[in-house]
Amino acid sequence: MFPAAAAGTALVAGHCAASGSADPGDACQRCDPARATDAWSPDVSPDETGVLCQVDRVTAAVQAACRPRVVHSLAAPLRQLRRAVDRELRAQVSGQNASDASVRLARRLARAVKAAGTRRGSDAREASQQIGVLETQLGLMASRHQ
C-alpha cells in the first residue's frame, strides 16, 4: 500500500504529482487532487491545452455514442467548432479579443447531438456532458480575455 498523498498532491502510480502538473504520458490529463488523489484527471482548464483536449473528448464522445450516419451528419459541426476554437486561441495569443463564435457553435452542436440522440436512438448523454464542459471552458476563457 502506498502512503497518503500530501496536501495539494496526488499519488499516481506510486509517484507524487503536484497539483496542476501534467501526466507525462498524456498532456490531456492533470493532477487535480480535488477530483482524485490516486489518478490523473481530465484537463478541463479554460486554457489552450484544456480547451483543445476537451474538443478532442467531445469528438470522441460523439463518435462513441452515435451511429455512423449520425457521426457523419455531425462531422461538419465538429470541424466548424474546432476551427472556431483554433481561431479564438490564436486571437488571444496575439492579444486580440476573441469572439464568442466557439460558444455559439458548441451550443448548436449540443442541440444537434441531443436531437440526433432523441430521433435516432443514440445514447448521447456522455457527448452532451462533454459539450457542457466545453461550453463552460469557452465561456470562462472568453470572460478572462475581454
Phi, psi (5° rounding) for residue 26? -155, 105
Query: Per-residue confidence of the chain (146 residues) as pLDDT tens digits?
Result: 444 556 677 777 777 788 888 998 999 999 888 888 888 899 999 989 999 999 999 999 988 887 788 888 889 999 999 999 999 888 877 776 656 788 899 999 999 888 877 666 667 888 999 999 999 998 888 777 66
Residue 104 burial (C-beta neighbours within 10 Å; 0-12, 13-18, 19+): middle
pTM of the model: 0.82
- pLDDT score recorded for residue 2: 43
What's 37's DSSP letter?
S
Is the Cβ–Cβ distance between 74 and 111 less than 8 Å?
no
